[in-house]
């Protein structure tokens, strides 16, 4: 349930709503917008038979029951897009410029990650991605350098100034990753690791939440809801492809429709990962551009200095030259789409 206050509601009137909510056993989440304040009530709505308990209070404009289970993530609770600041001057969401995260699947050597960081920054990427701990299905395969990989990522950040996104696989590594990363990545396999989501709700850094390989959109948004419920609303959603019956031609099915659906359902920013979504370098460019056209707030693209000899995910990685050629196309298309939407909005207003 949400309580929408009058545009000029007084602080005392808002406090009265919160007081009544707490008396009824609800948790009150306050969202103060530029025009009016919305109070989201989290709890068992069966305790009250109607909305009159709140509508009768001074300063209340109206009360709405939210039907979706992901209340905090829902646009019904917060209509305006969330904008997340990853680092000073680096933001994602709303009308911010498209944000590109790029780098290798795995950190392999110090020189390699620094070389890649310099290349992707020169091409226009704003965040460096790289895995220190890598989830692999088969044993006896490269599973990352661990603490050494984190040290190499930290060195690359010092050399280039790029903020870092890296994956957490085990809560025992939370403190060491916290000291290195600017964004915690929750991989597809951990999207429903509820203990991990609960703990990440307590950290004060953005969370990149990848969609599980067989997850519905509701399940994905409920995973975000769990993080938000524990206190962290800095969540970036990532569509990375879902499992299908036909894996002969692409690694996964990149669900481009999910980008538009999610933008309609939630205020949280969403990015696309065409590297994992396709699994093949050949298709990364077209799916990256298609994701921009679909309205993604950003992209995550795997870039490796020598994909043929990469220790993981080489077949889906771009080399620095390919990435450098792709970035102007991405920027040009994003600019076109932004202008197109602006003209549409102006027509609607007129």
Q: Which segment, 24-28, 37-41, 45-49, 304-308, is predicted with the most confidence on average?
A: 304-308
pLDDT of 94 > 80? The answer is yes
pLDDT in tens, 335-347: 999 999 888 888 8
Q: Identify the pLDDT of residue 116.
A: 98
Average pLDDT of the chain, as a whole number: 93
| Residue bearing the bigger pLDDT, 48 or 300 | 300
Note the pLDDT tens digit of each residue in 193-233: 999 999 999 999 999 999 999 999 999 999 999 999 999 99
Q: Residue 245: what pLDDT?
A: 86
Domain locations in the chain? 2-64, 84-346
pLDDT greater than 60 at residue 51: no
In this predicted structure, what is the pLDDT of residue 27? 87
Q: What percent of the chain has pLDDT over 90?
A: 77
Q: Which residues lie below 8 Å from residue 197, measured CB to CB, with a gap of 6+?
A: 186, 223, 226, 227, 230
Asked if residue 155 lies in contact with residue 187, where contact means CB atoms within 8 angstroms, the answer is: no
pLDDT at 249 over 80: yes
Selection from 98, 118, 73 nearest residue 268 by Cα: 73
Decide: 205 and 182 in contact? Cβ < 8 Å. yes
The encoded tokens of residue 77 equal 């609770």
The rounded distance, in Å, linking the Cα atoms of 162 and 178 is 16
154-182 mean pLDDT: 97
Tokens of 265: 């359902």
Element (H, E) at 235: strand 235-239
Task: Kindly state the helix (H) or strand (E) to which residue 263 belongs, with its residue range.
Answer: helix 256-265
Per-residue pLDDT at 101 exceeds 60: yes
**What top-level class would CATH report for the domain 84-346?**
alpha beta
Sign, CA torsion 54/56/60/63: positive
| Cα(104)–Cα(87) distance, integer angstroms | 21
pTM flag (> 0.75): yes
Average pLDDT over residues 27-56: 78
- What is the distance between the alpha carbons of residues 130 and 46, in angstroms, rounded to a whole number? 46
CATH number for the domain formed by residue range(s) 2-64: 3.30.70.1140
Q: What is the pLDDT of residue 47?
A: 63
Tokens 């897009």, residue located: 81
Residues 98-108, mean pLDDT to the nearest whole number? 97
């Amino acid at each position: 349930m949400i309580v929408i206050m009058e545009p000029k509601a007084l602080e005392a009137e808002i406090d009265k709503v919160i007081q009544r909510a707490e008396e009824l056993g609800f948790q009150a989440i306050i969202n103060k917008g530029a025009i009016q304040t919305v109070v989201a009530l989290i709890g068992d709505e069966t305790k009250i038979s109607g909305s009159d308990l709140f509508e009768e209070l001074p300063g209340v404009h109206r009360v709405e029951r939210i039907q979706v289970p992901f209340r905090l993530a829902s646009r019904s609770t917060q209509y305006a897009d969330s904008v997340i600041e990853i680092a000073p001057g680096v933001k994602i969401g709303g009308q911010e410029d498209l944000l590109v995260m790029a780098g290798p699947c795995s950190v392999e050597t110090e020189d390699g990650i620094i070389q890649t960081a310099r290349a992707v920054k020169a091409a226009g990427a704003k965040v460096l991605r790289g895995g220190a701990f890598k989830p692999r299905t088969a044993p006896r395969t490269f599973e990352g350098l661990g603490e050494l990989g984190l040290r190499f990522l930290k060195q690359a950040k010092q050399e280039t100034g790029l903020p870092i996104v890296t994956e957490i696989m085990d809560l025992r590594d939370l403190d060491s990753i916290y000291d290195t990363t600017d964004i915690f990545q929750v991989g597809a396999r951990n999207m429903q690791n509820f203990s991990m989501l609960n703990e990440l709700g307590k950290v004060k850094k953005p969370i990149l939440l990848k969609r599980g390989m067989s997850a519905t959109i509701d399940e994905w948004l409920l995973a975000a809801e769990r993080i938000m419920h524990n206190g962290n609303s800095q969540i970036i959603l990532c569509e990375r492809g879902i499992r299908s019956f036909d894996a002969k031609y692409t690694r996964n099915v990149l669900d481009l429709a999910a980008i538009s659906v999610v933008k309609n359902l939630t205020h949280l920013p969403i990015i696309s990962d065409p590297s994992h979504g396709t699994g093949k370098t050949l298709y990364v460019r077209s799916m990256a551009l298609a994701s921009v056209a679909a309205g993604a707030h950003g992209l995550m693209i795997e870039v490796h200095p020598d994909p043929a000899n990469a220790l993981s995910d080489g077949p889906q990685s771009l080399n620095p030259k390919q990435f450098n050629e792709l970035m102007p196309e991405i920027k040009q298309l994003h600019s076109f789409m932004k202008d197109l939407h602006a003209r549409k909005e102006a027509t609607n207003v007129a």
